[in-house]
Amino acid sequence: MKQHVRHAITGACAVAITLSLGLIATPANAEGDEYEVLVVGETLGFRHSHIDDTTNAIIELGEEHGFSVDVWDPPQGTSPGQPALTLPSSPFTTAEDLSKYATIIFASPVDATNNLDPNRPRLLNDAELAAFQGYIRGGGGYVGLHAATDSMHTVPWYSELTGGSARFRNHPAQQTATMRVESPGHPSTEMLPTEWVRFDEWYNFTANPREDVHVLITLDESTYNPGNGAMGEDHPLAWCHNFEGGRSWYEGAGHVDSSWTDPLFLDHILGGIEWTAGKVTGGGDCVTFKEVDGIVSGLEDGSQRIGQLGGDVEAYLDAAELAADSGDHAGAIAVLVQAKGKAHGLQDDALVAKIDDLIEWQQALVS
């Protein structure tokens, strides 16, 4: 169940990253009901017609749900952008300046870097990218919509942020397909049907991000023609993860303009905005087994006791992941409860909390 929260929760590992980088700015997502978000529609390549619809829909969502919207979408060449709405200059100045935004929404800002030419202008130049990285590492939020995976192809870090290095590869003709909700307890999916039939432009990706992200929705390729970029039985379409102290959420649908007047689709998008902004929590908060394994591996204590307990926790996590992957979610929960008991002995609150997240995620999947 979606739970509203007043403070974004970050693990000890995120705090350590932040302190090591000397970052002091904290995104404005902690206090009060009102907050600000930034929509980025700047386009240096193909411009999606939905960008204007997306921007206006998010502004309306903000009016209804307590957030205000800034827009960065300057005119480029023959592309008009949204000059009546856009900020007068790039907001990507410093991490501290960006920290006014609870989350930053990339609305298909294609930049034509998919030819991997390092000399081609990127959506964000080096200085702007550094500001954005500092913002994320300081606890910022990121929402990627549709062609957000078709930008900054020459920046590996951005690929990791969007999710598991999965980049836009190609797409077949627009058609009707069935989306299957894989994580029904998350605040962005709890309102969705298990099988969600929609007409859209369905992306094939260069890699399957599952190992690195919490998959929210998959595409059933048996319900449409995926073309020559077919990903097979496992075709993630929407996902999220906790990344370098921040929160990242991506939805690959939304190409067709009608998406942005569809109440159900907009509720789904709102859930992603509110989760990345730290305003809601639930469904395991996009935790992954890999993320929790990383916390265990990062424990730096040479004592035999820590080593043994850490090994026990890792073994339980491996067993729980195998059970979850096989569809035995009740079995996964039982093993995770054992892992949590061992984790208490390590006296690491962040680890215990993340195992609780794994349990909550699996509980939503028990039929």
Residue 133 confidence (pLDDT) above 60 = yes
Same domain, 310 and 259: no
End position of a domain, from candidates 216, 251, 281: 281
Same domain, 127 and 146: yes
End position of a domain, from candidates 234, 251, 281: 281
Same domain, 218 and 306: no
Average predicted confidence (pLDDT) for the chain: 90
Residue 9 confidence (pLDDT) above 50 = no
Same domain, 70 and 150: yes
pLDDT tens column, 262-320 = 999 999 999 999 999 999 999 999 999 999 999 998 886 655 566 788 889 999 999 99
Task: Look up the CATH number of the domain holding residue 58.
Answer: 3.40.50.880
Same domain, 187 and 315: no
Same domain, 8 and 120: yes
**What pLDDT score was predicted for residue 80?**
87
Q: Is the full-model pTM beyond 0.85?
A: yes
Same domain, 75 and 189: yes
Same domain, 63 and 188: yes
Same domain, 293 and 148: no
**What pLDDT score was predicted for residue 27?**
55
Same domain, 344 and 259: no
pLDDT tens column, 94-108 = 999 999 999 999 999
Same domain, 243 and 166: yes
What's the total number of domains in the chain?
Answer: 2
Same domain, 311 and 254: no
Containing structural domain, residue 319? 289-363
End position of a domain, from candidates 224, 246, 281: 281
3-state SS track over the chain:
CCEECCCCCCCHHHHHHHHHCCCCCCCCCCCCCCEEEEEECCCCCCCCCHHHHHHHHHHHHHHHHCEEEEEECCCECCECCCCCCECCCCCCCCHHHHCCEEEEEEECCCCCCCCCCCCCCCCCCHHHHHHHHHHHHCCCEEEEEHHHHCCCCCCHHHHHHHHCCCCEEECCCCEEEEEEECCCCCCCCCCCCCEEEEEECCCEECCCCCCCCEEEEEEEHHHCCCHHHCCCCCCEEEEEEEECCEEEEEECCCCCHHHHHCHHHHHHHHHHHHHHCCCEECCCCCCCHHHHHHHHHCCCCCCHHHHHHHHHHHHHHHHHHHHHHCCCHHHHHHHHHHHHHHHHHHCCHHHHHHHHHHHHHHHCCCC
**What pLDDT score was predicted for residue 304?**
56
**What pLDDT score was predicted for residue 307?**
77
Of the chain, the percentage scoring pLDDT greater than 70 comes to 89
